[in-house]
Amino acid sequence: MKSDDKNEEFKAIGIVSKPLKDKNISVLNALIKWLEEKGKKVFLDKDTASFAENFKGTVCRKSDLPNHVELIIVLGGDGTFLSVARIVIKKNIPILGVNLGSLGFLTETPLDNMYNSLDAVFTGQYKTDQRLMLRAHVHRQGERIAEYTALNDIVINKGAIARIITMSTYVDHKFVTTYRADGLIISSPTGSTAYSLAAGGPIIYPDLDVIVVSPICPHSLGNRSIVIPASCSIEITLESQTEDVFLTLDGQVGFTLRANDVVEIKKADTTIKLIQNLDRNYFEILRTKLGWGDS
């Protein structure tokens, strides 16, 4: 889902960085100075601020950043980006991901193109992708006990010592199958190139309005990934009598499941806005990350 909304003035800029060391600390400080020289108000989360030198702007909790800023710059990798995506979903604040290492699927702007990209953003010469997010509700004995949002995937998986787990799965209240597997991945198009791909799932173009269901090491070879419309609701009931099963969100947030817990997963009501790198397209990123064409 693409958008070309360029009405934002972007006067207040948030920066979230992965833990920094060596030269990347100078990258952060140079960026802060550059933004301030352009008259922007800079906001840092507490962890990022610990690397900033003589910072006189506003420091707040990461979860509070969306209440103060109009744009967030992520310095790091896709993991850092995912942590930011979950906190901006209700504010629809655009995110520019700058990769401090190798090219990322989400932090797709290389460091050497950061300032050019920001200049383009501040002059309205940019495009955005509206990325589908997933929302999960956990029900226990008929009561909703937890709610989470994820950009990449929502995963039910067993712990290191648990046996194969059993999960009955429904789509729009229609029975699909009872999976016996190491786990189950519910992926957005954005997350189709992450854990889902490693489990044998398909690569989904990020604009498509679909959800992928992929079993992890299924007991039956006939259990394969399926792609369903994002308008569908997925219900998964954990049938295994074990306490070593977890619900994880984007591989970063976890919740322990019990037998007979029901996980309901739907497309979230809102999306996140990712600023595109105009110098690279999606297929170029795929070729680079997946090594297509390498001898």
| CATH number for the domain that contains residue 87 | 3.40.50.10330
Residue 204 structure tokens = 């989904």
pLDDT of 293 = 76
* Residues 101 and 166 reside in one and the same domain: no
User: What is the arithmetic mean of pLDDT over 159-180?
Assistant: 92
Q: Among this protein's residues, is 78 annotated catalytic?
A: yes
Average pLDDT over residues 193-202: 95
249 touches 154 (CB < 8 A): yes
Pair (102, 194) in one structural domain: no
Please give the Cα distance from 188 to 177 (Å, whole number).
20
Query: CB-based burial of residue 40 (10 Å sphere; 0-12 exposed, 13-18 middle, 19+ buried)?
Result: buried
Distance between the two ends of the chain, CA-based, in angstroms? 34
Q: Active site residue: 4, 45, 78, 129, which one?
A: 78
The answer to whether 192 touches 203, Cβ cutoff 8 Å, is yes
Q: Classify the phi-psi angles of 255: left when phi > 0, otherwise alpha if psi is within -120 to 50, otherwise beta.
A: beta
> pLDDT tens-digit profile of 87-113?
998 888 999 999 987 777 899 899 999
Query: Backbone phi, then psi, for 258, in 5-degree steps?
Result: -120, 165
State yes or no: pLDDT of 4 exceeds 80.
no
**295 within some domain:** no
What are the pLDDT digits (tens) for 56-89? 899 999 999 999 999 999 999 999 999 999 999 8
Greatest Cα pair distance, the chain, in angstroms, is 60
Residues 108 and 157 both lie in one domain? no
Judge if 143 and 102 occupy the same domain: no
Which residue segment(s) compose the domain that 33 sits in? 2-131+271-290
Specify if 98 maps to a domain: yes
What SS3 class is residue 98?
Answer: strand
pTM: 0.90
